[in-house]
Amino acid sequence: MALPVADAPPGAGLIWAHRRGAFDLAREGVVMGILNVTPDSFSDGGDFMEPAAAIERGLALEADGAAIVDVGGESTRPGAEPVPEAEEMRRVLPVIAGLRERSAVVISVDTAKAAVAAEALAAGADIVNDVSGFGSDPRMAGVVAASGAGAVLMHMRGRPADMQRAPVYDDVVEDVREFLRQALDLAVSSGMPLEKLAIDPGIGFGKTAGHNLELVRATDRLAALGRPVLLGVSRKSFLAALGDAPDLADRHWPGVAVTVFGRLRGARIFRVHDPRPHLEALRMAEAIAAHA
């Protein structure tokens, strides 16, 4: 089934539907708050391993302006090893269920495993955020389509364990764009409505600092595929390399700067650890752009 979005008109494809409704992203972008329930994530590993602490963190992310709370039970930092399905479920399911009991916030589950996605959706998740773009588990597209959930399709070169070993592209923007086009095609062919899909170039996932910059600059070319673009740069190492920010705490404001630039280039969803400053900067950028 061919996609009708090879090059969509500017502004097209800015409704992103999910199990609880839809985001209208034409005028305002949204912030996705990161909730890692892992022992080894690069910036907050081990901080929220207990379900009660993780649920409170999710509520705090919502209070700080996150429209989506993204719950992940498997680290995808460079060098990370896979986590068994049962362990990933043990980490995420109580958090998703507990958060759903206490909040109407949109919940996404950050997983590339169809079995984990199915159980997370049953527990109350609304979106599946798949770092493999439905390419890791052949069952994933069908599970998400049958559930009525939304999805984020991300590009990653290789696997977390080896993705940063000298990644090379002929043309990183065109290579990533073509991967995302094919991922959209697969999802639609599997029964997912196009309006339930968002795309993510996978900043830091099998890319050098230079590749990351090229992709951020080319956000408008990715948005031309006709689906909302998610940028996830929060606290990542390329900010340290380019923004004189060697420590994690120093990467905060460089990340906010990327949010503003990305929004002006067409991104609409921003996955971050600290929602409030990103949301404030996002709204200011949108206000300025609206009156330009």
pLDDT tens, 54-84? 999 999 999 999 999 999 999 877 666 789 9
Q: How confident is the model at residue 48 (pLDDT cuts 50, 70, 90)?
A: confident
Mean pLDDT of 137-153: 97
Q: Which CATH superfamily is domain 29-275 in?
A: Dihydropteroate synthase-like (3.20.20.20)
In tens, the pLDDT along 195-217 reads: 999 999 999 898 998 999 999 99
Q: How far apart are CA 119 and CA 94, in angstroms?
A: 11
Q: Which residues of 220-239 are buried (b: 16+ CB within 10 A; e: fewer)?
A: ebbbbbbbbbbbbbbbbbbb
Beta carbons within 10 angstroms of residue 10's beta carbon: 8
Question: In the structure encoding, which two tokens stand for residue 117, read together?
Answer: 């996605």
Kindly list the catalytic residues. 236, 271
Domain boundaries, the chain: 29-275
- 98/162: higher pLDDT: 98
Provide the whole-model pTM: 0.91
Q: How far apart are CA 280 and CA 222, in angstroms?
A: 24
pLDDT at residue 223 is higher than 70: yes
